[in-house]
Structure 1
Amino acid sequence: MKTKCVPDVWKNKKPDLSEKRKSFLKTGALLLAGSLFLGVANISGQAYALAPSAQAPQAYTPTPADVAMVSDLEQRTFQWFWDSADPATGLIPDRYPSDQKQDSVASVGFGLTAYGIGVKRHYITRQQAVERTLTTLRYMWKLPQNESADKASGYHGFFYHFLDNRTGLRLNPDIELSSIDTALLMQGVLFCRNFYTQDTAQEKEIRQLSDQLFNRVDWKWMERPDHRLSMGWSPEHGFLPNYWEGYSEGMMLYILALGTPEHGLQPVSWQAWLATNDKRWGEEYGQTFLNFAPLFGHQYSHAWIDFRGIQDNWISSKGIDYFENSRRAVYAQRNYAVSNPGKWQGYDANTWGLTASDGPGDVTKTENGQTRHFLSYSARGVGRDYTQDDGTIAPTAAGGSVAFAPEIAIPALRTMKSKYGNHIYGKYGFADSFNPSFHDEKQDYWADNTYLGIDQGPILLMVENWRSGFVWDTMRQSAVIRRGLLQAGFHGGWLQQVAQQPSSVVRRKG
């Protein structure tokens, strides 16, 4: 069972890797894009001086070969979502094709967004997307919500992390009602609300169901007395003792909760979330930024929300925006691979990327005269919070960073495909991960044989955002997102146009 949530990060120690804890404590047009994405300052339309130890954005224009490669990757990654979803329910597995027993509500959130991308790129027709989206939303809306341990799919509008693919109910007693996985689902729901705008009966129903699903989430119920959001709840144990605190993918959680007028949070919650940021701001591998070790934490919120040129007071005090912060995190990871303090095989300027991903397995063995301990699924990363590395590289780390730093992310994807593509690139794009330092009698390196929805999603969404800004543009139209950002104190950039709009524009039920 897989999760991106690594709560022990905030305790400044490596995450517990036990399977139970990981489960329970759980994101031709390229030529034009190359001319648009010339650097963060130009993208955002906001001038600021780069903080110390920062590498300035580089102009980047993709070659025709890069255009073809990224276009192929995007289509293959989309196809994973289209093929893996159950056509009768719309549910999407955590991983596919290796294990289709557990469905992931986070995968569903990415999938709902993927269908809109499919329409834009003409992979599917709009009508196909409408029908698949309606199937999904209808099913999710009808799933039972109650406090029972085995007869519910969620409670208070939140959903369990994993659902049984046969029944849609909670997979097993180890699975928590997940605040972050519900947020990932709701990002997809809000995308539907703002993409399907035609005046047809089906698209009206999509909008109505989207409103109903989102407005049912009782964020106040998940809020703890100190205004932080809990990571989850279970009938057996109540609220988890871990909270969303400090820079991470939890950013989206607070923005969604601040953006709803029903069961919503107050701005004090954003301040509670920011409380530990100063401890994690600093220099790491030549970059000064707000650290979070695995790259998924720098990708998930940005996959839907356009943080270019908008700032809250905290990030404004550092002279950057959160988009620039993520770009620096990507460069720090690349610099770490070049430095390669662990002497892992294959690491270089174009072969890098640590995030939560599969691994060869929990095993210790001797490689090239060195005793190495390898990991199974784990939150790998490098930062001031912790460093965890066993030589496993996840293509989603670079693929989900294309919009931040295409000048280093695309060459990395090209190199990994060229050197390892026979084993890691197939029908659905890049397999989840590979490890050039792990050898056995069958092949020269370990390569995963499956794909994870929460790793496929960032590749697809961020490649499209780099190509056209499509997901960002769609989500800019969301009254929930705009209100949430304003409630959190964001200002400047594209938010200037909507700063005076009343919160009543957020749609309610019906």
Structure 2
Amino acid sequence: MAGTFGIAQAGPTVSTALTPALQPASLPAADAAFVDDLEKRTFNWFWENGNPKNGLVPDRAPLPNGAASIASVGFGLTAYGIGVERHYITRQQAVDRTLTTLRFLASLPQNDHVSGAAGYKGFFYHFLDPNTGLRVADWSELSSVDTALLMGGVLFSQSYFDHDTPQEKEIRDVADKLYRRIDWTWMKAHGPWLSMGWMPPHTFLPSDWKGYNEGLIIYLQALGSPTHPLPAETWKAWTATYENQWGDFQGHKLLNFAPMFGHQYSESWIDFRGVQDAWDRAHNVDYFQNGREAAYAQRAYAQANPGDWKDYGPNIWGLTACDGPGDAQQVYDGKKRHYLAYSARGAGRDYILDDGTIAPTAVGGSIAFAPEIALPALKEMRARYGDRIYNKYGFLDAFNPSFADQKSYWVDGQQLGIDQGPILLMLENWRSGLVWNTMKKNAYLRTGLERAGFEGGWMRTKTATSKPVGQSL
């Protein structure tokens, strides 16, 4: 059998009680040292693998001359502010790398040609050549979500670099230009929803952003645009597609999305604690609490371990999109199993895709949601598997204790930017709230939230720079 694949069955109708969240200030010295170590190593992945000549960040590393990912760039731009606050780098180093990145992105050609461009209508291709910045190959799509993740970093830079200096003013100006030029309305190819992407010269991808997923940040950016905004009613139309995902899984009632990344990407930049849209209010939840329930549900799934995979338990859990051993079959525990390469592994009411592969980012990217279960899991992974899964840049992307590989078990040899990013950003959000608090000051994001109907929580208070931005903040 191909692991545990298929549609999950509904669980109990009442969420299991959740343990109170763990506070960073209360950590024992050894735990605090581990958190410090993991955050610094993960930051270094972005700083040392990013191209200092143009700011592009690889999709994965090590991979000599591998493609850059615009989503990785977005996480990287956010990482640099974290590096300043944690004293990993100086503010001037962060300014220089950020300005190099933004200038380069703004200089790249945008047109509808099959080759020779980095993007079109303000959107960027998912993968770029790491040196030229142009579309890496004909298979790379113009990506709405990856552009939005890039813009997460661009808008973070706009709000973080607030000093009255020529360089920081330029950062704010170029960030403004990059965001304002995106034509969100053009990407609305099929009805009210945004398309997932486009291929030149004139073909939109058939799938649209519908249902609960990482699309939160895309629609909020599109609603907040001062130049090409989507209608405010788009948000209601989008959330109306959620209903089939709302329900019980492993004793937790939540808006289901099986891979953890769907609960982490938008929430890495946006603090949804106590902030609700109309859908949330009707269901007595917010997106932060939903992510917390999702983390607990995944842990409960690993404890139940319906696929009988090796090592699953209360501190070994975490399914999300990640690398895998490859499309292969092996016998484990007396059963013939089917394993996968890169796949959107997950466990939820919507589906289960599980071949025994654990992704540390599923846990690390959930630490702001549920630190009281995420930190023990990260510590257990580090202690049990040691340097096989933990190197100079923190956790390797994935490992599979059930898959035999050269007299041991399979471990990925790389880290991915879109998996390192949530670990870094959510660690810092848990520890200081830096990314969340910086984004609260961004007028465009706040406009998007207001137009989507969000109320409550921190939105009751106007922040110092929550006014329209022009050439400076």
Amino acid corresponding to residue 64 of structure 1 in structure 2: A
Shift of residue 232 of structure 1? 0.3
Structure 2 equivalent of residue 246 of structure 1: 211
Are the counterparts in 2 of residues 93 and 102 from structure 1 also a CA contact under 8 Å? Answer: yes
Are the counterparts in 1 of residues 172 and 472 from structure 2 also a CA contact under 8 Å? Answer: no
In the alignment, the residues of structure 2 paired with residue 134 and residue 506 of structure 1 have an alpha-carbon distance, to the nearest angstrom, of 18
Shift of residue 444 of structure 1? 2.0
In the alignment, the residues of structure 1 paired with residue 46 and residue 367 of structure 2 have an alpha-carbon distance, to the nearest angstrom, of 20
In the alignment, the residues of structure 1 paired with residue 135 and residue 302 of structure 2 have an alpha-carbon distance, to the nearest angstrom, of 40
In the alignment, the residues of structure 2 paired with residue 237 and residue 156 of structure 1 have an alpha-carbon distance, to the nearest angstrom, of 12
Matched, 1:67 2:18: no
Listed as ranges, the matches of 1:78-157 within 5 Å are 78-157=43-122
Structure 2 equivalent of residue 493 of structure 1: 457
Which of 320, 335, 339 in structure 2 is aligned with 1:355?
Answer: 320
Provide, for residues 459-509 of structure 1, a one-character-per-residue CA deviation record: whole Å limited to 9, x for no partner: 00000000000000000000011110010000011111239x999724379
Shift of residue 56 of structure 1? 3.0
Matched position secondary structure for 2:380: helix
Matched position secondary structure for 1:439: strand
Provide, for residues 389-434 of structure 1, a one-character-per-residue CA deviation record: whole Å limited to 9, x for no partner: 0000000000000000000000000000001122010100000000
In the alignment, the residues of structure 1 paired with residue 254 and residue 452 of structure 2 have an alpha-carbon distance, to the nearest angstrom, of 20
**In 2 relative to 1, CA 377–226 (structure 1 residues): closer, same or farther, beyond 3 Å?**
same
Which of 431, 441, 460 in structure 1 is aligned with 2:424?
Answer: 460
Q: Cα RMSD (Å) of the superposition? A: 1.9
Are the counterparts in 2 of residues 227 and 269 from structure 1 also a CA contact under 8 Å? Answer: yes
Are the counterparts in 2 of residues 54 and 286 from structure 1 also a CA contact under 8 Å? Answer: yes
In the alignment, the residues of structure 2 paired with residue 86 and residue 444 of structure 1 have an alpha-carbon distance, to the nearest angstrom, of 35
Are the counterparts in 1 of residues 441 and 466 from structure 2 also a CA contact under 8 Å? Answer: no
Structure 2 equivalent of residue 407 of structure 1: 372
Are the counterparts in 2 of residues 215 and 509 from structure 1 also a CA contact under 8 Å? Answer: no
Which of 455, 468, 471 in structure 2 is aligned with 1:505?
Answer: 468
Shift of residue 139 of structure 1? 0.3
List alignment gaps of at least 5 residues for structure 1.
1-8, 15-50
Amino acid corresponding to residue 52 of structure 1 in structure 2: V
Which of 285, 300, 319 in structure 1 is aligned with 2:284?
Answer: 319
Matched, 1:479 2:443: yes
Matched, 1:55 2:20: no
Structure 1 equivalent of residue 346 of structure 2: 381
In the alignment, the residues of structure 1 paired with residue 167 and residue 131 of structure 2 have an alpha-carbon distance, to the nearest angstrom, of 26
Amino acid corresponding to residue 339 of structure 2 in structure 1: F
Which of 364, 367, 370 in structure 1 is aligned with 2:332?
Answer: 367
Q: What's the TM-score, normalizing by structure 2? A: 0.95
In the alignment, the residues of structure 2 paired with residue 348 and residue 313 of structure 1 have an alpha-carbon distance, to the nearest angstrom, of 36
Listed as ranges, the matches of 1:383-398 within 5 Å are 383-398=348-363
Matched position secondary structure for 1:327: helix
Q: How many residues align?
A: 462
Amino acid corresponding to residue 318 of structure 1 in structure 2: H
In the alignment, the residues of structure 2 paired with residue 210 and residue 54 of structure 1 have an alpha-carbon distance, to the nearest angstrom, of 44
In the alignment, the residues of structure 1 paired with residue 191 and residue 27 of structure 2 have an alpha-carbon distance, to the nearest angstrom, of 48
Provide, for residues 285-304 of structure 1, a one-character-per-residue CA deviation record: whole Å limited to 9, x for no partner: 01000000000000000000
Amino acid corresponding to residue 78 of structure 1 in structure 2: F
Are the counterparts in 2 of residues 149 and 235 from structure 1 also a CA contact under 8 Å? Answer: yes
Amino acid corresponding to residue 468 of structure 2 in structure 1: V
**In 2 relative to 1, CA 133–321 (structure 1 residues): closer, same or farther, beyond 3 Å?**
same
Shift of residue 236 of structure 1? 4.6
Shift of residue 320 of structure 1? 1.6
Matched position secondary structure for 2:382: helix
Provide, for residues 137-184 of structure 1, a one-character-per-residue CA deviation record: whole Å limited to 9, x for no partner: 000000000000001000000000000113211111111100000000
Runs of 4+ in 1 over 3 A off after TM superposition: 501-504, 506-510
Shift of residue 443 of structure 1? 3.5
Identity of aligned residues (%): 58
Provide, for residues 62-120 of structure 1, a one-character-per-residue CA deviation record: whole Å limited to 9, x for no partner: 22211110110000000000001111010011001134320000000000000000000
Matched position secondary structure for 1:317: helix
Listed as ranges, the matches of 1:136-285 within 5 Å are 136-236=101-201, 238-285=203-250
Which of 263, 275, 279 in structure 2 is aligned with 1:298?
Answer: 263
**In 2 relative to 1, CA 425–225 (structure 1 residues): closer, same or farther, beyond 3 Å?**
closer
Provide, for residues 302-338 of structure 1, a one-character-per-residue CA deviation record: whole Å limited to 9, x for no partner: 0000100100011111112110000000000000000
Amino acid corresponding to residue 56 of structure 1 in structure 2: L
In the alignment, the residues of structure 2 paired with residue 204 and residue 361 of structure 1 have an alpha-carbon distance, to the nearest angstrom, of 47
**In 2 relative to 1, CA 59–103 (structure 1 residues): closer, same or farther, beyond 3 Å?**
closer
In the alignment, the residues of structure 2 paired with residue 272 and residue 502 of structure 1 have an alpha-carbon distance, to the nearest angstrom, of 30
Shift of residue 57 of structure 1? 4.0
Are the counterparts in 2 of residues 359 and 448 from structure 1 also a CA contact under 8 Å? Answer: yes
Amino acid corresponding to residue 251 of structure 2 in structure 1: G
Amino acid corresponding to residue 282 of structure 1 in structure 2: G
Matched, 1:416 2:381: yes
Are the counterparts in 2 of residues 84 and 96 from structure 1 also a CA contact under 8 Å? Answer: yes
In the alignment, the residues of structure 2 paired with residue 503 and residue 354 of structure 1 have an alpha-carbon distance, to the nearest angstrom, of 37
In the alignment, the residues of structure 2 paired with residue 149 and residue 97 of structure 1 have an alpha-carbon distance, to the nearest angstrom, of 28
Structure 2 equivalent of residue 337 of structure 1: 302
Amino acid corresponding to residue 428 of structure 1 in structure 2: Y
In the alignment, the residues of structure 2 paired with residue 503 and residue 91 of structure 1 have an alpha-carbon distance, to the nearest angstrom, of 29
Provide, for residues 32-61 of structure 1, a one-character-per-residue CA deviation record: whole Å limited to 9, x for no partner: xxxxxxxxxxxxxxxxxxx93242341424
Q: What's the TM-score, normalizing by structure 1? A: 0.88
In the alignment, the residues of structure 2 paired with residue 170 and residue 398 of structure 1 have an alpha-carbon distance, to the nearest angstrom, of 32
In the alignment, the residues of structure 2 paired with residue 99 and residue 280 of structure 1 have an alpha-carbon distance, to the nearest angstrom, of 40
Are the counterparts in 2 of residues 211 and 507 from structure 1 also a CA contact under 8 Å? Answer: yes
